[in-house]
């Protein structure tokens, strides 16, 4: 093996290590979404934007999660949460429950409560009316019962702009595991007041338990009303939805569009911020250098060089990220599988559709490109993942939202606990 191949292998191993979890207690390694690490705990307080953790299945140690762990998970639903946070997932229940509440008291100290009662303020409806508050008993067993053969309609406590396919798993009875089929869909209300979840369960078992209610674990993932995601993040979200629906070619196209949208947005803003160019000159540069491959190769180094200590020749990780994106996104997008449409020819003798593996490689490559650009940003506040997700409007026009985005909740002693605070399984 020559030196070039050894370097490429080293680069590939380094990229594979990004997003890998290591337990600080027993050194167990794995990725979120595997059987090793599959529970996310949400802890929110007034002095932090929110921290997420998982629990080691071997020793029970709490492991903090970074955005890379979520976005590079093999489980698509976890990858969605890198963009949406806990505000983008609902777990419908017949009776709202919470297993743990962590809040900040008036003196600034933190406290966790695992029993008792908590009042939940659901806020106001878009029409202006107040939603009825809920009262939850902390520590109660979560229940969402569905009778076999009977359609269940459940009103969701939050409104969504768009949703992904509903995730359903059977909790109880255990005797029916492997013997049920479940279908769920969300019907969005045009007025954004009464979005409903429709679930139906059927079973092929003649056991007595097949005539009893089933306790179903249900997760609804979507973009909440008012989240104001950036266009590139919406494209990325839609691409994940296409992947879940088996539309892998469309997913790859949207992943490519997401990366192009982010690169243009990033270059326009940072060139002006670092005084490398005025806005008109930045626009002209992007007009003249319109291919994304040229922008990555020629324009981005101009920005990265403003960051202390950055040198193109020594940044091995960035070289690997560029190569991975070129192979898994650019080449795939330009291939006959995706762009030229040979898979749609009526006389084709074999399918040329991209596989799920192709779409997943594209998803992870685009994330690595976007995150790699952010981390190399010479403007410190703009190296944060959350900075590029959301926008808001002011008197001066379009500007970035607070890094906390819509997911930042105040859990001070005088405030009420928001819905979905606590441990979600």
Q: Write down the domain spans for the chain.
A: 231-388
pLDDT tens across 34-76, in order?
Answer: 555 655 554 433 333 446 777 777 787 878 888 888 888 888 8
Write down the residue that tokens 């997943």 correspond to: 360
Looking at residue 299, the DSSP 8-state letter turns out to be I
Nearest to 39, CA basis, from 63, 59, 3: 63
Alpha carbons 199 and 188: distance in angstroms, whole number: 14
Residue 252 has pLDDT above 60, yes or no: yes
Kindly give the residue spans of alpha helices, DSSP state H, lying in 41-118. Answer: 67-71, 76-84
> Helix crossing, 356-375 with 248-273: angle to 10°?
10
Peptide bond preceding 173 in cis form (omega within 30 of 0): yes
pLDDT tens across 347-383, in order?
Answer: 544 456 788 999 999 999 999 999 999 989 888 888 8
Structure token pair of residue 367 = 């994330």
pLDDT > 90 fraction of the chain, expressed in percent and rounded = 16
CA atoms in the 13 A half-sphere facing the CB of 20 = 11
Of 129-138, 180-189, 221-230, the poorest mean pLDDT is in: 129-138
Alpha carbons 264 and 328: distance in angstroms, whole number: 20
Residue 16 has pLDDT above 70, yes or no: no
pLDDT tens across 328-341, in order?
Answer: 998 888 876 676 55
Alpha carbons 83 and 63: distance in angstroms, whole number: 20
Nearest to 333, CA basis, from 297, 293, 294: 293
Looking at residue 229, the DSSP 8-state letter turns out to be B
**CB within 8 Å of 279: residues ≥ 6 apart:** 268, 272
The total of other beta-carbon atoms located within 10 Å of residue 33's CB is 20
Kindly give the residue spans of alpha helices, DSSP state H, lying in 278-355. Answer: 279-288, 292-294, 300-304, 316-325, 331-334
């Amino acid at each position: 093996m020559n030196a070039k191949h050894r370097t490429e292998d080293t680069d590939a191993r380094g990229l594979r290590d990004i997003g890998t979890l290591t337990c600080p207690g027993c050194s167990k390694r794995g990725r979120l979404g595997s059987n090793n690490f599959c529970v996310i705990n949400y802890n929110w307080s007034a002095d932090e934007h929110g921290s997420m953790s998982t629990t080691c299945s071997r020793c029970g140690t709490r492991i903090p999660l970074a955005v890379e762990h979520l976005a590079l998970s093999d489980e698509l639903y976890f990858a969605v949460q890198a963009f949406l946070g806990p505000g983008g997932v609902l777990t419908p229940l017949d009776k709202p429950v919470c297993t743990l509440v962590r809040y900040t008291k008036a003196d600034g100290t933190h406290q966790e409560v695992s029993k008792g009662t908590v009042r939940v303020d659901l806020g106001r409806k878009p029409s202006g009316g107040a939603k009825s508050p809920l009262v939850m008993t902390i520590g109660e067993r979560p229940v969402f019962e569905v009778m076999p053969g009977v359609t269940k309609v459940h009103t969701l406590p939050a409104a969504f702009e768009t949703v992904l396919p509903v995730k359903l798993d059977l909790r109880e009875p255990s005797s029916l595991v492997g013997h049920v089929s479940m279908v769920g869909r969300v019907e969005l209300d045009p007025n954004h007041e009464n979005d409903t979840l429709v679930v139906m369960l059927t079973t092929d078992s003649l056991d007595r338990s097949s005539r009893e209610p089933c306790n179903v674990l249900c997760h609804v993932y979507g973009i909440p009303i008012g989240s104001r995601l950036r266009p590139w993040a919406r494209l990325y979200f839609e691409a994940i939805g296409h992947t879940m629906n088996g539309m892998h070619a469309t997913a790859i196209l949207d992943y490519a569009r997401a990366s192009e949208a982010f690169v243009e947005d990033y270059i326009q803003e940072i060139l002006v911020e670092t005084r490398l160019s005025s806005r008109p000159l930045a626009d002209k540069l992007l007009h003249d250098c319109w291919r994304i491959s040229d922008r990555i190769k020629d324009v981005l180094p101009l920005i990265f060089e403003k960051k202390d200590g950055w040198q193109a020749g020594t940044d091995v990780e960035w070289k690997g990220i560029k190569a991975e994106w070129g192979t898994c996104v650019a080449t795939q997008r330009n291939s006959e599988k995706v762009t030229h449409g040979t898979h749609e020819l009526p006389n084709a003798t074999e399918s040329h559709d991209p596989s799920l593996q192709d779409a997943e490689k594209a998803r992870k490559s685009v994330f690595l490109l976007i995150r790699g650009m952010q981390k190399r940003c010479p403007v410190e506040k703009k190296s944060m993942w959350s900075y590029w997700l959301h926008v808001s409007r002011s008197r001066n026009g379009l500007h970035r939202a607070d890094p906390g985005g819509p997911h930042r909740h105040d859990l001070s002693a005088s405030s009420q606990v928001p819905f979905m605070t606590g441990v979600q399984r």
